[in-house]
Structure 1
Amino acid sequence: MFGLDLQEEICFYKKYHSNSVNVMIHITCVPMILFSYVVLCSYLELPSEWLTPVLGESSAIKKLQPYLNLGLLVSIVYSIFYIMLDWFGFLAAPILLGFSVGSKWLVMNKFEQDTYQVMWFLVVVNVFSWIAQFIGHGVYEGKKPALLDSLVQALLLAPYFVLFEIAFALGFRKDLEKDLNNKTARILSQERKQQQKSE
């Protein structure tokens, strides 16, 4: 787990997502889940006692403080992990950081009085998205989701997998797509052989 080898990490996730309908469900639902989690985390600001010794007490820092929240921290962790895996992480980082800053801006400027409704909306988005993904696995993929084998790995890799699938569909990184498809096919073939031996 987490050898920081892009092909190994993406193949771990890809072997659970080979059906095109299931992949489309994930391309739709994973960003909704991630965005909703970042919005929820944006409500949890980092304590000023942590920030003042590092950033100081200027008025500019105080204006930025609401944006320095758990959502930003989560986005930074994801971004660093993705950059360590591949240069494509530099594409993911602004998207993730935009999720964080954008969600906090929305919460502060558009939905400040509607916290209860926002929370309910996020719960509905999450429930819908998770159910859709489980249907994708059960009905279309015919196998269990990746998170049942490695929850943390699956949650970290899902957004990156989606980014790569979109890039592949747009014609980018076709050499990588071919390598990933071949490697995933070999892994699945080996797993089938092992399963047949154990039966």
Structure 2
Amino acid sequence: MAQNPERRAALVDAAIDVLAREGARGLTFRAVDTQAGVPTGTASNYFANREDLLDQAGRRVYTRLAPDPASVAHALETPPSRELVRHFMHDIVRRVTADRTGYLALLELRLEATRRPDLRRTLTARLQPEYEESIRFHLAAGLPGDRSTVSVLYFAMLGLIVEHLTVPEVIAADPIEALIDAIVDRVVPRE
């Protein structure tokens, strides 16, 4: 059967919506069909099985959350500094807040990976290079700090984002912008 790439993309986006709303256990072909507004059985024509659907959703989330290359290039026109790191950290939170559904779906995939070794391998294959690329990017751009700086920044921001998107009341007393600035100020050395 010939497959429509636009419909496949819509089904994957629908799967992301279902993951964010219902969790991995609620991700069924029927739920995806309903979310996408297509006839029952459509998703099963596009994906070999549920694992394939989970894998495709994981891949798509990263595309949705990725920074705009032109914006990154523009930001890199300024000299490397703690302020530039701050800019990039604020941009990360802006992007995940703008696509809250995508990030929540990613969190659901991470949780599901604790129960599914194949998904864990898939996510590890995606997350490990992403983590290393973050370090490589930071160092290659000449931003202040070393590998350890980037690691601490990466995991501190990850925790802040999880709180911000899941239980924002925990950090309600402190504006997220101020928390990002505090993380950068404490982790990234002065030039």
TM-score by length of 1: 0.29
Indicate the structure whose relative CO is greater, using CA pairs within 8 Å and at least 6 residues apart. 1
